[in-house]
C-alpha cells in the first residue's frame, strides 16, 4: 500500500472521498445536495489548505454557499444539470477567471481581475461547476516547482519538506488531499504531468488542439502549451476533458473531439504494445530508483494484456532538446518581453523569466525555422513508431520530488543541469510531437517519494491513452491521492 501523508491532516469525509463522476451523479439524482457537497469541500479546504497552500484567492464562503443554494433550487424546479453540475472547482491561476483574481503568480498581476473567462473556464461554468477559487502556480508557470512572491510556495501532498512540482502544483496537491474533486491544469514542458507524478494523481496532456487555448493576443504560433484535466482516477479525468475539449472559432488550431471520452471508457482496452524508452539509451540523467519504479509499473501493465519492449530510437535527442528550448523561448520569452521592456516590471520578474526573454532576443529567424524543421522530423519518427507500438512510455520526471526550498536541481546523476528546466527534458518529447500523454502513478521509493510514468499516444489518440490508463489503474495496489 502507498504511504500516507506526513501532514497532520484529518481523514477526509465520505463526500470528499467520492469520485467526481459519482458526486455529479448523486447530485443529479438529488441523493446529495449541492450545498452538502460544497460545504464538505470547503470544510476540507479550511482544515488542510493552511498546511500546503494549494488553493489561493478563495472566494468568500457565504458567496459560494449562496451559489450552491441557487443550484439546489434550480434542480428542485426541474432544471437541467450539466455534467459538472454542483461540483466545486478551483481553476489554475494561469487561466483567466471573470471577476476572480488571476495573478499568474506574478506581483505584476497581483490585483488583476479579468473581465472574461478562459475558453475552457467558460465551458466549465456552463457545465454547472461552482468555481470557488484558484490553484497556486509558479510565476508565469515557469519551472516545475510551485512558488511565487504573491502567495508563497505550495508543499508536496505527502511531505512538507518536498516540492509539489509544477506548474500545476496547487491543482495536484488540492486533488491529492481531497480538497477538490477534479482539477484543470496546463502543460508546456510537463506542467500537468510532473506535479501529478509528484503527488500520486493522474494528469493528462491532451493532443495539440483538442482543448482550445485562449483568449490570447497570438493564436497561431504559441501552440505547444495546452490545457488539460487532472483527477484522482481516469474516469474523472475524462469527465472534465469532455467539457474542456472541442473546437472554438477564436482558437483556429483547435479541433472537434470525437464523442465523449467518459462514454468511451465504457469499452475496456484490449491490450497492446508499449515501447519503453527508459532513459533514452543513457542520454537522460536519471536519479537512481526512477527507472526501477517505472519498470515495475510496466510489469503491472502485463496484467492488462499490454506487453512492453525496451527501445532506444536512433534520434539525436540533444538536438531535439535544443529545438524545444528554441521554440519555447520564441513563444514564452517573446510573450514576456512586454514586461521585460518596462524597467519597473522587469525588477519584478524572476530570473527564469528574464532568461527566457533575453535568450529569445538573441534568436534569429533561421534558428527558429531550423528548430521547427527538427520538430517536424521528430513527428515523422513518432508516426513510424506508432506503426509498431500502441503507446510509448517514459518516466514523468528524471528526479524524485526534491527539497521545496531548492528552486531546481543543479545536478542529476552527476551531470550539471544547464538551465532551470533541463532536469525535465523527459517531458519535451510528447510536447514536440503534439501527442496526448497521461501521467499514471508508478509508485514510491524507500523514502516514500512518489513517481509517475508517462503514457504517450499517437496524435489525436487521446481516448486510446485514457483507456490504457484506466486498464493500468485497475492493477494498482493503492488508490491515487495522499490520505
Q: What is the tens place of the pLDDT at every residue in 321-361?
A: 999 999 999 999 999 999 999 999 999 999 999 999 999 99
Pair type for strands 391-395 and 450-456: antiparallel
Q: Omega of the bond prior to 167 within 30 degrees of 0, cis? A: yes
> Model confidence over 225-268: pLDDT tens digits?
999 999 999 999 999 999 999 999 999 999 999 899 999 999 99
The residues annotated as belonging to the active site are 92, 167, 191
What is the reported pLDDT for 2? 67
Q: What is the Cα–Cα distance from 17 to 19, expressed in whole angstroms? A: 6
Q: H-helix or E-strand containing 469? A: helix 462-473
**For residue 109, what are the contacts with CB-CB under 8 A and spacing of at least 6?**
102, 103
Pair type for strands 437-444 and 391-395: unpaired
Q: What is the Cα–Cα distance from 343 to 184, expressed in whole angstroms? A: 33
Q: Which residues of 177-187 are buried (b: 16+ CB within 10 A; e: fewer)?
A: bbbbbbbbbbb
What is the reported pLDDT for 1? 57
Q: What is the Cα–Cα distance from 432 to 445, expressed in whole angstroms? A: 30
The answer to pTM > 0.95 is yes
| Distance set, CA 24 to CA 29, 40, 119, 315, 362 (Å) | 9, 14, 22, 46, 51
Can you read off the three cell numbers belonging to residue 128? 454547472
Q: Phi first, then psi: what are they for 62, rounded to 5°?
A: -60, -40
What is the reported pLDDT for 464? 98
> Residue 86: left (phi > 0), alpha (psi -120 to 50), or beta?
left
In this structure, is the dihedral angle defined by the CA atoms of residues 348, 353, 355 and 360, taken in order, positive or negative? negative
What is the reported pLDDT for 479? 86
Residues of the chain with pLDDT under 70: 1-2
**For residue 316, what are the contacts with CB-CB under 8 A and spacing of at least 6?**
none
DSSP state, 282? T
| Max CA separation in the chain (angstroms) | 65
Q: What is the Cα–Cα distance from 230 to 76, expressed in whole angstroms? A: 31
DSSP state, 133? E
What is the reported pLDDT for 223? 81
Amino acid at each position: 500500500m502507498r504511504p500516507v501523508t506526513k501532514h497532520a491532516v484529518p481523514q477526509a469525509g465520505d463526500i470528499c472521498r467520492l469520485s467526481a463522476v459519482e458526486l455529479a451523479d448523486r447530485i443529479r439524482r438529488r441523493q446529495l445536495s449541492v450545498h452538502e457537497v460544497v460545504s464538505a469541500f470547503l470544510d476540507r479546504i479550511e482544515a488542510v489548505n493552511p498546511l500546503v497552500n494549494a488553493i489561493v484567492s478563495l472566494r468568500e464562503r457565504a458567496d459560494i454557499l449562496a451559489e450552491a443554494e441557487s443550484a439546489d433550487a434550480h434542480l428542485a424546479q426541474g432544471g437541467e444539470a450539466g455534467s459538472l453540475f454542483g461540483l466545486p472547482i478551483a481553476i489554475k491561476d494561469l487561466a483567466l477567471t471573470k471577476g476572480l483574481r488571476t495573478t499568474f503568480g506574478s506581483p505584476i498581476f497581483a490585483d488583476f481581475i479579468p473581465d472574461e473567462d478562459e475558453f475552457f473556464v467558460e465551458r466549465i461554468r456552463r457545465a454547472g461547476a461552482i468555481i470557488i477559487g484558484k490553484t497556486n502556480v509558479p510565476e508565469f508557470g515557469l519551472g516545475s516547482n510551485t512558488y511565487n512572491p504573491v502567495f508563497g510556495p505550495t508543499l508536496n501532498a505527502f511531505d512538507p519538506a518536498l516540492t509539489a512540482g509544477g506548474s500545476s502544483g496547487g491543482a495536484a496537491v488540492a486533488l491529492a488531499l481531497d480538497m477538490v474533486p477534479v482539477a484543470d491544469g496546463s502543460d508546456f514542458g510537463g506542467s500537468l504531468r510532473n506535479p501529478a507524478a509528484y503527488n500520486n494523481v493522474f494528469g493528462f496532456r491532451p493532443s495539440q488542439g483538442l482543448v482550445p487555448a485562449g483568449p490570447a493576443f497570438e493564436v497561431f504560433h504559441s501552440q505547444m502549451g495546452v490545457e488539460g484535466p487532472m483527477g484522482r482516477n481516469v474516469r474523472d479525468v475524462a469527465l472534465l476533458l469532455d467539457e474542456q475539449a472541442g473546437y472554438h472559432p477564436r482558437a483556429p488550431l483547435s479541433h472537434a473531439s470525437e464523442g465523449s471520452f467518459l462514454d468511451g471508457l465504457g469499452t475496456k482496452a484490449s491490450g497492446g504494445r508499449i515501447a519503453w524508452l527508459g532513459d533514452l539509451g543513457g542520454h537522460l540523467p536519471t536519479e537512481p530508483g526512477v527507472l526501477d519504479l517505472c519498470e515495475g509499473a510496466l510489469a503491472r501493465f502485463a496484467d492488462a494484456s499490454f506487453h512492453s519492449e525496451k527501445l532506444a530510437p536512433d534520434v539525436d535527442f540533444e538536438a531535439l532538446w535544443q529545438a524545444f528550448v528554441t521554440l519555447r523561448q520564441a513563444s514564452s520569452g517573446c510573450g514576456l518581453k512586454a514586461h521585460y521592456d518596462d524597467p519597473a516590471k522587469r525588477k519584478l520578474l524572476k530570473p527564469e523569466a528574464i532568461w527566457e526573454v533575453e535568450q529569445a532576443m538573441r534568436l534569429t529567424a533561421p534558428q527558429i525555422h531550423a528548430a521547427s524543421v527538427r520538430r517536424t522530423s521528430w513527428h515523422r519518427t513518432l508516426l513510424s513508431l506508432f506503426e509498431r507500438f500502441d503507446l510509448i512510455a517514459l518516466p514523468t520526471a528524471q528526479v524524485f520530488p526534491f527539497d521545496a526550498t531548492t528552486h531546481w536541481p543543479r545536478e542529476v546523476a552527476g551531470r550539471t543541469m544547464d538551465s532551470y528546466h533541463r532536469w525535465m527534458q523527459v517531458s519535451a518529447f510528447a510536447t514536440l510531437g503534439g501527442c496526448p500523454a497521461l501521467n499514471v502513478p508508478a509508485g514510491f521509493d524507500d523514502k516514500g517519494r512518489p513517481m509517475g510514468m508517462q503514457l504517450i499516444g499517437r496524435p489525436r489518440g487521446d481516448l486510446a491513452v485514457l483507456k490504457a490508463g484506466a486498464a493500468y489503474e485497475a492493477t494498482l495496489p493503492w488508490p491515487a491521492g495522499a490520505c
